[in-house]
Amino acid sequence: MRHTLTLSCAAALLSLPLVSCENASDQDTDSATSAQTVTLYTSVDDSFARMVVDAFEDETGIRVDVLGDTEATKTTGLVSRLQAEAANPTADVWWASEPMGTILLDESGILEPGGVEGSVGEDWPQALRSDDWSWVGNAVRARVIGYSTGRVENPPTTMAQLTEPRYKGRVGIARPQFGTTRIHMSILADTWGMENFEAWLEAMVANGVRLYDGNATVVRAIAMGEIDIALTDTDDIWSGQENGWEVDLVYETREDHDRWPSAGPALIPNTVAVVRGAPHPGPAARLAAYLASPTVERLLYESTTNNTPIDPDLRAEYGGDVLDISHLPDYRGAAGMVGEAMDACERVLMSP
């Protein structure tokens, strides 16, 4: 398959600089070109974001100023910044590596209704767009179980199996307050109910689960021998393999369980939106349409991140090499569980 929120941190985030993706030597442009500028806030990993932004700049001549976030606080910090700037937006376009922050921004009235209408087909999966086309999702990746190929012969393939005594002290996860782990925990809480979700957290703690600052860090911990197994993302495993690490992944399998049934791997899309009141609405619309396009889905699929496209023509072209999208999670339902799920994680994982 593979190819080569909270406002509490807003004050600190407001001091972060914007970084242009152009070289300093290219900054002396004429006034007409300088007017074609757009500001992008993104939680997509820097190397992939810059790959896509460079392609957009080359194609359109529009300069993109990019503000990213740290691995440890993925998405959450930028959501807080967008909330703080709502009355006087700095950002034009929001491009997230997950849907939960985007849904929160939409519910807060920070995204432009109709801002991405027409960027994808009307038959786009309902789970991957808002009803008013304020945001759209594409380019999905999966939450997976990563493992050491040198130390694990038969890795677990469900969340329930991670609690088994044979894996005691061998499993790690990224801290759940941020990024895709936050989403994954919220999906589990929405699927299982809070009582069963909290019971799973307690079983993981009893089994010696270890916490790390991000998905890339947890994969490195496998490679360094600190743990043998981890919950992480597809792209982090493949990046580890590019580094020569002895790591691999398995997808969660569908399986019944009295408390923790599995519906298969949790799929996490990128999401795209135009910010309401964007300072540069014309370039913003062009950039948002580009980020939602088959061009970007192809770029990401053929990169080491290997995100699965949603565009039907690309799916037909790539055939069996793409992830099944017939069982997409209920992202809106999971978004409604974020607060309760994070409270449980804080209570059980962070302060046992």
Grouped pLDDT means (10 residues each) for the chain, 352 residues: 39 42 41 71 93 97 90 73 97 95 96 98 96 97 97 97 98 91 95 98 98 95 98 92 96 95 94 98 98 98 92 95 92 95 95 69
35: closest CA among 281, 276, 274, 277? 281
State the DSSP code for 167.
Answer: G
Structure tokens at 7: 């406002």
| CB proximity list for 330: less than 8 A, separation 6 or greater | 127, 190
Quote the pLDDT of residue 35.
57
- The 3-state DSSP class for residue 209 equals coil
173: closest CA among 117, 131, 92, 229? 229
Structure tokens at 95: 């491009």
Distance CA 287, CA 269 (A): 18
Quote the pLDDT of residue 351.
79
Residue 115, classified by CB atoms within 10 Å of its CB into exposed (0-12), middle (13-18) or buried (19+), is buried
Quote the pLDDT of residue 77.
86
β-bridge mates for residue 212, sequence order: 174
Structure tokens at 143: 């939450």
Quote the pLDDT of residue 263.
87
CB 234 within 8 A of CB 73: no
